[in-house]
Amino acid sequence: RVNGERLWRRLMEMAEIGATEKGGVCRLTLTDEDRRGRDLFARWCDEAGLHMEIDRMGNMFARRKGRSNGPAVMMGSHLDSQPTGGKFDGALGVLAALEVIETLNDAGVETDAPIEIVNWTNEEGARFAPAMVSSGVYAGVFDIEDVYAIADKEGKTIGEELERIGYKGERQVGGRDWQACFEVHIEQGPILEDRGLPAGVVAGVQGMRWYDIVVEGDEVHAGPTPMDRRRDPVRALADALSAIYADIPNYGEWARFTVGDLKAEPGSRNTVPGRVTATVDIRHPDDKVVEEIEAAMTRIVAEAGKRHNVEARVETVWASPAVKFDETCVASVRKAAETCGLDTMDMVSGAGHDSVYIARVAPTAMIFVPSKDGISHNEAEYSAPGDCEAGANLLLHAVLDRAGH
């Protein structure tokens, strides 16, 4: 059994880095706060006797030797956060993994297979779109040079910021030898809490796509320009969004439609904007339904553009198809739940995780712990100490099941 008190203490210590006034965390990827979070994690790994390697995407790999030098068992998640994020999203997975290692160290358990902890760079996608970008490079989904060139709202790139914080490592990205990968994460939704369960066995991840709705009209003066002489992109965007929101219930209870960010250019109070942009996130466990919603959105946006005589279009930013995790890894988690005497359920993740991409190159599964009120990406995000501990215990036993001892 893991030491739940030590795990909680470390979660709280990590949460001090980038702590916000409202009790949350702002540790956006590749900022100074992220660097400090990484430094702290590296120190803890060092104290636990692990060997650290860093690759060219800044992904951190902390390795505990096994009796054999064969394929390793991997536990990974991320230390970056949303701009107004919580203490648990990502950090729980990395620190539960560290707690598993500490528990093995304390008990003097040697495993046959080596064990590795990974901290993936930019899982959140909040500062640099898309999300899960470094596990994506690892899995060959993205080209590293393209990813280096991705810029934040201020124009700073991933490549520059990796160098600036001193975490652009030397090792090639990808190609590590993993026989099984596990990620503990908070659920970020209400299902486990609603059912009163301490943990969930994650059998897959829903499909998700990111878009920009871009509408272009003419910049003109807010005062003297008659309404019927305007090509006002705000009007078309408002009409389109209003119609899309109204359409979403037609796709059933699992459909998700989110506009996370809005921009008007030039963004001056007394000028009709020349261009407005809305970011869109669409999700559904069935990729076909994601495509249906996309088609409806594209049609509605085009119609609104036509009606108001502006250029209106939908640009795809990122697409991540639905994922089914590896049966044997899922089975190891179920077995761990039995060993620990924990009631669980099988579930589909509503959020994306690095495990989505890792599942393409290695057998993978995930473990969820409940989120209070189903809330995440919010400073009020909370998971109880006992639930975090339960998640770490499931991870411990799933890893032992695969690593052999």
Q: Which of residues 188-217 bind ligand URP (CB under 6 A)?
A: 188
Burial status of residue 40 (CB atoms within 10 A of its CB: 0-12, 13-18, 19 or more): middle
Q: Is 232 in the site for ligand URP (CB under 6 A)?
A: no
Q: Which is nearer to ligand URP, 261 or 303 (CB)?
A: 261
261 interface partner picked from a second copy, ligand URP, none, CB below 5 to 8 A per type: a second copy
The DSSP-derived string for 256-313 is: EEE---EEEES--TTEE-SEEEEEEEEEESSHHHHHHHHHHHHHHHHHHHHHTTSEEE
Q: Which is nearer to ligand URP, 29 or 344 (CB)?
A: 29
Q: Which tokens hold the place of 64?
A: 């505990």
CB of 145 to a second copy, least distance (A): 23
Q: Are strands 207-216 and 311-320 parallel, antiparallel or unpaired?
A: antiparallel
Binding residue numbers for Zn(2+)? 78, 89, 124, 185, 377
Q: Which is nearer to ligand URP, 102 or 124 (CB)?
A: 124
Among 58, 207, 273, 352, binds ligand URP (CB under 6 A): 352
Q: Is 270 in the site for ligand URP (CB under 6 A)?
A: yes
- Residue identified by tokens 């409940």 is 370
Q: Which is nearer to a second copy, 235 or 397 (CB)?
A: 235
CB of 124 to ligand URP, least distance (A): 5
How far apart, in whole angstroms, are the C-alpha atoms of residue 203 and residue 194? 19
Q: Which is nearer to a second copy, 34 or 55 (CB)?
A: 34
Strand partners, 85: 25
- Residue identified by tokens 């810029």 is 151
Q: Is 266 in the site for ligand URP (CB under 6 A)?
A: no
CB of 400 to ligand URP, least distance (A): 26
Q: Where are the beta strands (DSSP E) in 55-190?
A: 60-64, 72-77, 115-119, 178-186
How far apart, in whole angstroms, are the C-alpha atoms of residue 193 and residue 191? 5
CB of 319 to ligand URP, least distance (A): 13
Q: Is 87 in the site for ligand URP (CB under 6 A)?
A: no
Among 25, 73, 131, 392, binds ligand URP (CB under 6 A): 131
Q: Which tokens hold the place of 388?
A: 């975090």
Binding site for ligand URP (CB under 6 A): 89, 123-125, 131, 188, 221-223, 270, 351-353
